Amino acid sequence: MDMNVNIQDSTKVIAEDFVSLCKAGKADEAGDRYWADDVLSIEPTGSMPPARGKEALRKKGEWWEGAHEIHRMDIDGPYVNGNQFIVRFTIDVTEKQSGTRMKMDETGLYTLKDGKIAEERFFYSRG
Amino acid sequence: MDMNVNIQDSTKVIAEDFVSLCKAGKADEAGDRYWADDVLSIEPTGSMPPARGKEALRKKGEWWEGAHEIHRMDIDGPYVNGNQFIVRFTIDVTEKQSGTRMKMDETGLYTLKDGKIAEERFFYSRG
């Protein structure tokens, strides 16, 4: 059990730093610091194919930020269990191309391996 | 991909019914309807040991309800990806034995197999 407690404590430290950076609008720095080189990013079926690797995720983030105007982002969490944590993102955003303003409400499940994010998996609400 | 889309659509239907029952204060009925017979329930390390089986989870729920006075419960979600969904629970609650009133903020990650909840895994926020 001691080892498991240590793993969870270490998850908490990383999760809180990760979320602090995201709350400060530094999601790119959060990724740079904690994504594993071969990190896997998984969106719900039918939205986007999985992306693999730090460089691919950086580009995905840049594309998303370029395609949207963010009016407000609220972040709840992190929520921790073992080597995993969950973060909730509520985003008031306008899709630039269509001009559609919407409230996005989603959660990310992050899985750590050796102190780095090996996988991020996003879950959508119908809103 | 079609099969994956069907799995996710089926997850959505189950997740929304499950959450509707929980929002109506019928968490026990939600469990009865959707827990697999050998469902596994996992709390964060150091809180409670895992519980296995529908009967064990029913007793766990009864114990929790008996030990707490719930003033208010808010539920966000469900958030869906593939065969999994996440629900957020914010609970204003008094622990009867100590008289301590607290705000619990946690998320549950539910994994479906053959239309039933094979695993529920809870994540805690430091609040």
Which of A74, A71, A13 is closest to B76 using CA atoms?
A: A74
Which of A110, A95, A94, A104 is closest to A125 using CA atoms?
A: A104
Gap between the Cα atoms of B66 and B31, Å rounded: 17
The predicted model scores a pTM of 0.94
Number of domains in chain A: 1
Nearest CA in chain B to A104: B79
Nearest CA in chain A to B104: A79
Instruction: Band the pLDDT of A1: cuts 50, 70, 90.
Output: low
pLDDT digits (tens, 9 = 90+) for A78-110: 999 999 999 999 999 999 999 999 999 999 999
At CB < 8 Å, which residues of chain A contact B? 1, 4-5, 7-8, 12, 16, 42-46, 76-82, 84-86, 88, 105-107, 109, 121-126
Task: Name the residue facing B123 among A43, A85, A106 (closest C-beta).
Answer: A85
Gap between the Cα atoms of B7 and B52, Å rounded: 25
Q: Do B86 and A109 touch (CB under 8 A)?
A: yes
Gap between the Cα atoms of B35 and B66, Å rounded: 21
Q: Do B81 and A5 touch (CB under 8 A)?
A: no
Nearest CA in chain B to A49: B1
Q: Do B45 and A86 touch (CB under 8 A)?
A: no
Task: Report the CATH number at residue A23.
Answer: 3.10.450.50
- Say what the pLDDT of residue B3 is: 77
- Say what the pLDDT of residue A46 is: 87
Gap between the Cα atoms of B42 and A2, Å rounded: 17
Domain carrying residue B41:
3-126
Q: Which two tokens stand for residue B7?
A: 């799995």
- Say what the pLDDT of residue B122 is: 98
pLDDT digits (tens, 9 = 90+) for A2-56: 678 899 999 999 999 999 999 999 999 999 999 999 999 999 998 889 999 999 9
Gap between the Cα atoms of B35 and B119, Å rounded: 8
- Say what the pLDDT of residue A15 is: 98
- Say what the pLDDT of residue B5 is: 80
Count of other CB atoms within 10 angstroms of residue B108: 23
The shortest C-alpha distance from B7 to chain A (Å) reads: 9
Q: Do A5 and B46 touch (CB under 8 A)?
A: yes
A3, with CB counted inside 10 A (0-12, 13-18, 19+), is: exposed
Residues of chain B with C-beta less than 8 angstroms from the C-beta of A107: 77, 79, 86, 88, 107
Q: Do A76 and B126 touch (CB under 8 A)?
A: no
Sign of the Cα torsion A105, B105, B126, B46 reads negative
- Say what the pLDDT of residue A2 is: 66
Gap between the Cα atoms of A78 and A88, Å rounded: 8
φ, ψ of residue A23 to 5 degrees: the values are -65, -30
Whether residue A119 is predicted with pLDDT greater than 70 in this model: the reply is: yes
Per-residue pLDDT of chain B (127 residues; tens, 9 = 90+): 567 889 999 999 999 999 999 999 999 999 999 999 999 999 998 888 999 999 999 999 999 999 999 999 999 999 999 999 999 999 999 999 999 999 999 999 999 999 999 999 999 997 4
In the three-class reduction of DSSP (H, G, I as helix; E, B as strand; rest coil), residue B126 is classed as coil
